[in-house]
Amino acid sequence: MSRRLPSSAALRVVPAPGQVLGFPTADAASGLLVEGAADISMEDLYKRFAPYVAAIATRILGRESEVEDVVQDVFIAALGGLKKRDQLLQAKSWFATVTVRSSMRKLRTRALWSLFDLAEPPQYERLSDPAAGPEERRMVAEVYRALDGVSAKERVAWVLRHVQGESLEDTALLCECSLATAKRRIAAAHAVVKQRLEAGGAHGH
């Protein structure tokens, strides 16, 4: 019999080092569903993984309007792609990978629209955890503005590492690149973020 998760309102995710995001159950660390996973219905999958997918998409994209699209795309893919039992048993990593891919596509579309000045203006003020202090909230908004200036690949790698809290190895895995490439992308994005924050800090003083 499958265990029920608490409602998604209780699933507010505040990542900490080593914590698995959006899946606060005993089996979260292994990434496996509970026993009898093959019997899990799509409804269960929505309840269990929609918040998880949304959390990753939010961190990568930073814009509410795009998150819902990505969640929808991921579950459309799940309807067609999550059929085999072995995939179901590793549903968590499957959702993470597909979410990263889908978010990456969204970022590229956004970049395309921005060429014609049709992209939505960024609204990053709501992003921070309400528990965060004002300085951190400003920092998060500024970080996301800086990330708008880097490539989609570099942005995704940096977010997975420094916002999602993934290890370097998992970041490389989710970005579907080598460890060295992941490090290089993170470093490239980090330089831009750092420069922007330092410039903002100097301006503020």
Partner 1 sequence: MDIERRLREGPLRVEPLWDAEQTARLPQRVLAARRRRALVRAVAAVSALAAAIAVWTLAPQASVTPSAPALASASAGPANLRAFALADGSRVSLLSGSSRVEVVEQTSVLVRTRLGAGAARFDVIRDAQRVFEVESGEVKVSVLGTAFSVVRVGALPRVAVERGAVRVQWTGGEAFLSAGQSGSYPPLAEPTPVAPVAPVEPLADVAGSPAEESRSWRKLAKRGAYAAAYEAIGAASKDVRDEPSDLMLAADVARLSRHPSEATRYLSRVADGFPRDKRAPLAAFTLGRVLLEDLGQAARAADAFRLAQQLAPKGPLASDALAREAEAAQRAGQRERARKAAARYLELYPSGPQAERLRKL
Contacts with partner 1, residue ranges (CB under 8 A) = 7-9, 12-17, 22, 42-43, 46-47, 50-51, 54-55, 58-59, 62, 64, 67-68, 71-72, 75-76, 79, 126-132, 135-136, 138-140, 142-143, 162-165, 193-194, 197, 200-201
DSSP state of 37: G
Smallest gap from residue 22 Cβ to partner 1 (A): 7
Classify burial at 97, counting beta carbons within 10 Å of its beta carbon; exposed 0-12, middle 13-18, buried 19 or more: middle
- Judged by CB, which is closer to partner 1: 29, or 35? 29
Q: CA nearest 146: which of 203, 110, 70, 200?
A: 200
- Judged by CB, which is closer to partner 1: 35, or 167? 167
Smallest gap from residue 84 Cβ to partner 1 (A): 15
- Judged by CB, which is closer to partner 1: 13, or 156? 13
Smallest gap from residue 133 Cβ to partner 1 (A): 10
- What are the CB-based long-range contacts (under 8 Å, 24+) for 169-172? none
Q: How far is CA 148 from the centre of its chain?
A: 15
The radius of gyration of the chain's CA atoms, rounded to the nearest angstrom, is 17
Smallest gap from residue 162 Cβ to partner 1 (A): 6
The alpha carbon torsion through 50, 35, 173, 8 (nearest 10 deg) reads 20
- Judged by CB, which is closer to partner 1: 67, or 175? 67
Smallest gap from residue 6 Cβ to partner 1 (A): 10
- Judged by CB, which is closer to partner 1: 162, or 184? 162
**Distance (Å, rounded) from C-alpha 114 to C-alpha 117?**
4
